[in-house]
Amino acid sequence: MGGATIGSASLLAACGSDTTTQTITNTTTTTSTVTSTTTVTNYICPVDSQKFSSLADLQDHYSTEHAGNQAENIVTLNVNGKAYALIVEPWWPLAYVLRDILGFYSIKLGCDMGNCGTCTIQVDGAPMFSCLMLAVDCDGMEITTLEAMSDGINLDPVQQAFYDYDAYQCGYCTPGLIMAAEALIKKNPKPTAEEVQEAFSGHLCFCANMTKQVECLVGGVD
Ligand code: FES
Ligand code: FES
């Protein structure tokens, strides 16, 4: 499945609302509080854009008003600990749904056919090329993207290692590599160079920076 061509209106549903409050304290004298609120309250029909307050209402409407469509293509994707109920077309790649519908822009598309690794995410803890997966097959799965690796202020140890070793140039391949690296380090905290090379074997870096990308993980990260 390469070169996926995505058709028309695609807006799907969403799930609830949440409020995040972060207190940031630096070591000198300043304390500040940042409050961000994300509210997604509507379940939206992908055909006529009518809004509903629950997934059940949307399903009723969809099967009644758009009987020719397949209402059974409703999936729940658990992304970075939050559930998203979506209506998907059966041919939609997971990469498209995560990036273009849900807005997880860390996911980059390179080849769109499984040859470069830039679209790598974790599905149930394993690194996967999201361009090769269908969203309709991922109902109930736990999906992790690069957005979950940092609290928005501090880098996690793998990200920090990439930073410390200058293991990036243009950065286009970096999110996919970091997702593969995170999965490797979780399973094998002190990998050898050969083990890192194997974990990165499906990835291409067009800036030819793979030496540093491997080096920064050998022996583990702090
Ligand atoms: S974009 Fe998925 S492997 Fe290249
Ligand atoms: S850093 Fe540019 S493609 Fe890898």
Tell me, yes or no, whether 19 and 117 share the same domain: no
Q: Give the closest residue (by CA) to ligand 1 atom 3.
A: 114
Residue of 99, 115, 133 to mutate, ligand 1, most atoms within 8 A of C-beta: 115
Domain that holds residue 120: 104-222
> Which ligand does the CA of 128 lie closest to?
1
pLDDT at 155 over 60: yes
What confidence score (pLDDT) does residue 53 get? 81
Number of domains composing the chain: 2
Residue 65 lies in a domain: yes
pLDDT digits (tens, 9 = 90+) for 165-211: 999 999 999 999 999 999 999 999 999 999 999 999 999 999 999 99
Q: Is the CB of 211 under 6 A from ligand 2?
A: no
CB-CB contact of 133 with 93 (8 Å): yes
At position 154, the amino acid (one-letter code) is N
Q: Is the CB of 115 under 6 A from ligand 1?
A: yes
Q: Is the CB of 118 under 6 A from ligand 1?
A: yes
> Which ligand does the CA of 178 lie closest to?
2
Residue 184 lies in a domain: yes
Tell me, yes or no, whether 61 and 122 share the same domain: no
Other beta carbons within 10 Å of 139: 14
Tell me, yes or no, whether 46 and 83 share the same domain: yes
pLDDT digits (tens, 9 = 90+) for 57-112: 877 887 788 776 655 678 889 999 999 988 888 899 999 999 999 999 999 999 99
Among 6-20, 65-79, 138-152, whose mean pLDDT is lowest? 6-20
Residue of 94, 119, 203, 206 to mutate, ligand 1, most atoms within 8 A of C-beta: 119
